[in-house]
């Protein structure tokens, strides 16, 4: 299952530049049963390798804008550090369900941005470039906390607030995602919050999948595919949030029942 899923997710990344974290994290939690923090760390490393393999295709075509990439990283890297540390310190036995809810909500919201009315200002980056760093800050925070955002939100930001053509947006965003994924993944490696077995199986399918996607990237209508990807990611994010909320509700009920459960009589306790 991991090999098949790795191929499908990687093909999407190669075709559109998005979907690595948005798909991998909920799939690892919902289908593989991994804890949220382990799923995020594993998804980060997986996405980093996929983007690293896809990058040469865009570098060879010179479809990367160096200045905008630097501005995006200047804001996103500090945000990434904040999001990664928040996930690490918030995640414990008492808050596992809350983390699931937050991660699911972030995944769904970041994917839903694809369908929001676009307030385009293609001269924004050229005239007010440093502001790109400020807009990239929350993208970094979300990427650190949920492993998603660099693909979906980075692409949306550059499509609507820069003059770059779509191929150059995708290429710039892929390099952007590589840097964030490697930095965030490095912290997860240090903390041991990565499932190596699942990661290797994902990569067995993911390596040929991302190469397949990059080769056919110019032959498939990217816009329609992005819409379909966003819908699936929203469904997965909502399902993840629902699972966390349901677990929180059941845990609250159990604690309430234990709190108000009457104690047995003294004679019964002595007899026991």
Q: Could you report the per-residue pLDDT of 104-119, keeping only the tens digit for each?
A: 787 777 677 666 656 6
Q: Are 199 and 34 in contact (CB under 8 A)?
A: no
Q: Look up residue 27 and give its two tokens.
A: 């799939």
Range of the domain at 136: 2-271
- 48 Rama class: left (phi>0) / alpha (psi -120 to 50) / beta: alpha
Q: How confident is the model at residue 249 (pLDDT cuts 50, 70, 90)?
A: confident
In the predicted structure, residue 265 carries a pLDDT above the cut 60: no
Instruction: Please give the tally of structural domains in the chain.
Output: 1
Residue 153 scores a pLDDT above 80:
no
pLDDT 10s digits, 40-70: 888 888 888 888 887 787 777 777 777 888 8
Residues in Cβ contact with 255 at an 8 Å cutoff, skipping those fewer than 6 apart = none
**Can you say whether the dihedral through the CA atoms of 40, 45, 46, 47 is positive or negative?**
positive
Average pLDDT, the chain: 77
Q: Residues 154, 72: contact at Cβ < 8 Å?
A: yes
Tokens linked to 18 = 């998005």
């Amino acid at each position: 299952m991991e090999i098949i899923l790795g191929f499908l997710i990687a093909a999407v990344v190669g075709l559109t530049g998005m979907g690595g974290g948005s798909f991998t994290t909920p799939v690892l939690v919902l289908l593989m049963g991994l804890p949220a923090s382990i799923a995020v760390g594993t998804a980060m490393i997986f996405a980093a390798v996929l983007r690293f393999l896809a990058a040469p295709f865009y570098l060879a075509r010179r479809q990367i804008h160096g200045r905008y990439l630097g501005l995006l990283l200047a804001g996103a890297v500090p945000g990434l550090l904040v999001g990664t540390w928040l996930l690490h310190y918030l995640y414990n036995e008492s808050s596992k369900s809350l983390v699931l809810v937050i991660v699911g909500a972030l995944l769904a919201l970041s994917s839903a941005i694809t369908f929001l009315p676009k307030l385009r200002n293609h001269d924004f980056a050229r005239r007010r470039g440093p502001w790109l760093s400020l807009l990239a800050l929350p993208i970094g925070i979300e990427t650190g906390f949920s492993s998603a955002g660099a693909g979906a939100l980075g692409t949306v930001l550059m499509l609507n607030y820069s003059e770059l053509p779509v191929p150059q947006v995708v290429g710039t965003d892929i390099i952007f995602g590589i840097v964030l994924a490697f930095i965030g993944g490095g912290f997860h490696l240090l903390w041991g919050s990565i499932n190596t077995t699942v990661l290797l199986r994902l990569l067995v399918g993911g390596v040929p999948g991302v190469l397949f996607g990059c080769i056919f990237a110019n032959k498939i209508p990217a816009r329609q595919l992005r819409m379909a990807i966003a819908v699936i990611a929203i469904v997965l994010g909502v399902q993840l949030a629902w699972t966390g909320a349901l677990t929180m509700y059941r845990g609250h009920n159990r604690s309430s029942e234990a709190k108000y459960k009457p104690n047995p009589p003294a004679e019964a306790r002595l007899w026991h």
